[in-house]
Structure 1
Amino acid sequence: MGLLHSAALLWILCTAAAEDSMPTRNIALHGRATQSTVYSGTTSAINAIDGNLDTDYSRGSCSWTTAEVSPWWRVDLLRPYKISQIAITNSGAWLDGAKLLVGNSLENNGNSNPICAEINSIPDGGTKTFQCNYMVGRYVNIFLEEKHNYLQVCEVEIFGVPESNECLCF
């Protein structure tokens, strides 16, 4: 009876852990963000993962690079995740043509990772969600390859589950 009771308890704990890890929380909030350059002191990369959906960069709510060739923004999620979707909140047309990348490599600042989606347009002040179909990656990049432009991102929300589940479920 003790073994059966222990197995049932383990199954309950594993089921609860799996439900807690469903992609309903924004895993980007605990990441570390960086970008190719910083436009000003109030436009750092961390602004795009602060949970603030405000699209007014002058209030310190968006990240923004200087005008440069191939600007990029990246978040390190600190461990690999199976990423289901990424929601991006934008201000203006600064992301048109950008690639949304997911992977585990820092080659080329992470800009050589596989493509989840290409951002054709996001309405000014709007949010658009991109399906990544559980691509695995520790790094998520937004990359304007071979374009001379600014890169402005107001918020990046990433939803997924850890790549490896620590719990051995039956």
Structure 2
Amino acid sequence: MKHKSVAYFLFMFGLSCTGFIRISAADKVDNKYNVLSRMFQLVFEDMKKQEERLKVLENGTTVESCKTTTNIEQENISGALTETQLKAIQDNIQHVKDYLDRISKGLAAEKIVRTENTNAIENNSDNIEKFMKEVQNSNAELNQTLVNLNDNNENCLREMKTEFKHQEVKINAHTDEKFDSLIQNFTNQLNQHGRERRDEMKDVINVIKNIQDNVHHIIQVTNSNLAKGKDADQSSTAADGHASRAVDGNKNGDYYADSCTHTMKERNPWWRVDLAGSYAIKRVVIKNRGDCCGERLHHLVITVSDEEDGTEETCGTFEGPGAKGVVYTITCDRPILGRYVKIQIKDDNTPSNLTLCEVEIYPA
């Protein structure tokens, strides 16, 4: 009997679903939320009908069993639906109603949210369209401003060109006037002081001649040895190798020909010449000893100073060791102005003899 009651309930629920299908097919053009709402409404109505039928069945069975049925029929009818079965069916119906009610409320809430979102999108679309119109208006105003600025710039340039031309004409006229005036004054002075000018020309010729003589002298000095015959000294003297031998003009590399200098064996020995005037020193030429001991020429540093004990500026260096009888030329990186030229061996580790057979110094 219990299975029959459940089958009856499912049959009735199937009829309701058939109604749902008919309603859905008929209302395709309606909104899905409206269709679902109507379907749920029909379910509620069918559920109420089922409840009423069950109540009638229960009540009717009890009444009829007292009036018209036999004892066997009363037993069959009263056993058709027990109170427990009826309660279970009612509970199931109530659960279905509650579930459908929650779904209906959820769909209604979703419909409200979607409606609000649609309104918000429409409002935003209106705001975006308004903003785009404002942007277009701003672009139009900016373009117009640029056009106006361009026109103003062109006007300013035209005015500046016109002003420049006007000033150019005035300057040219003023310059021509001044130039004509100068020429006229100069011509008048020449006419008035012709003889004086001729005398002045003679003086100018004399000045030019003096300049030529000075240039010739400078050329000679440039190509001449500034050290020859000048005073020289050195850190010490050995074997009669006096400092003056390096500037006597004798280039013989044999020490025994009395042509070379010689210091004692000491640390950092030096030789120096006084040029008796300041010159822009450019080259220093050194003739090394030729009969022996050429390797003694090493670690040379050539310096120039404007005073005897003044600040020394390096012209150049010679690392060595030298070879016998070789002439070495040290060229300054740039001309150095000075009066004293010093040649020194700078080797703190080994005592050395400094020997120079001839030293020539040339200006820039």
Give the TM-score category using the shorter length. 0.7 to 0.9
Superposed CA offset, 1:20-57 (max 9, x none): 2221111111310100111112x100000011111111
Q: Partner amino acid for 1:11?
A: I
Runs of 4+ in structure 1 displaced over 4 angstroms? none
1:142 to 340, 343, 354: 343
1:64 to 262, 266, 272: 262
Q: Quick check: 1:33 aligned with 2:232?
A: yes
1:117 is displaced (CA, Å) by 0.7
Unaligned runs of 5+ in 1: 162-170
Aligned position for 2:308: 106
Secondary structure, aligned partner of 2:296: coil
| Structure of greater relative contact order (alpha carbons < 8 Å, 6+ residues apart) | 1
TM-score normalised per structure 2: 0.41
Q: Quick check: 1:83 aligned with 2:264?
A: no
Q: Quick check: 1:4 aligned with 2:206?
A: no
Aligned position for 1:129: 329
Aligned position for 2:159: none
Q: Comparing 67-76 with 98-107, which one deviates more in the overlay? A: 98-107
Instruction: Return the index of the structure with the highest Cα Rg.
Output: 2
Paired with 1:52 and 1:93, the residues of 2 have a C-alpha distance of 21
Alpha carbons 1:75, 1:141 under 8 Å: kept = yes
Aligned position for 1:74: 272
Superposed CA offset, 1:44-91 (max 9, x none): 000000111111112211001010011000001111111221111112
Alpha carbons 2:229, 2:248 under 8 Å: kept = no
Secondary structure, aligned partner of 2:224: coil
Secondary structure, aligned partner of 2:228: helix
Aligned position for 1:168: none
Q: Partner amino acid for 1:126?
A: V
Q: Quick check: 1:118 aligned with 2:310?
A: no
Q: Partner amino acid for 1:14?
A: I
TM-score normalised per structure 1: 0.85
Aligned position for 1:18: 215
1:102 is displaced (CA, Å) by 1.1
1:116 is displaced (CA, Å) by 0.6
1:14 is displaced (CA, Å) by 1.5
Determine which structure has the larger strand proportion and give its number.
Answer: 1
Aligned position for 1:166: none
CA distance 1:21–1:123, change in 2 (3 Å): farther
1:3 is displaced (CA, Å) by 1.2
Alpha carbons 1:30, 1:77 under 8 Å: kept = no
Aligned position for 2:298: 96
Q: Comparing 9-18 with 136-145, which one deviates more in the overlay? A: 9-18
Unaligned runs of 5+ in 2: 1-197
Q: Comparing 120-129 with 48-57, which one deviates more in the overlay? A: 120-129
Paired with 2:255 and 2:283, the residues of 1 have a C-alpha distance of 24
Q: Supply the RMSD in Å over aligned alpha carbons.
A: 1.7
Determine which structure has the larger helix proportion and give its number.
Answer: 2
1:16 is displaced (CA, Å) by 2.1
Paired with 2:206 and 2:326, the residues of 1 have a C-alpha distance of 45
Paired with 1:137 and 1:118, the residues of 2 have a C-alpha distance of 17
Alpha carbons 1:47, 1:62 under 8 Å: kept = yes
1:5 is displaced (CA, Å) by 2.1
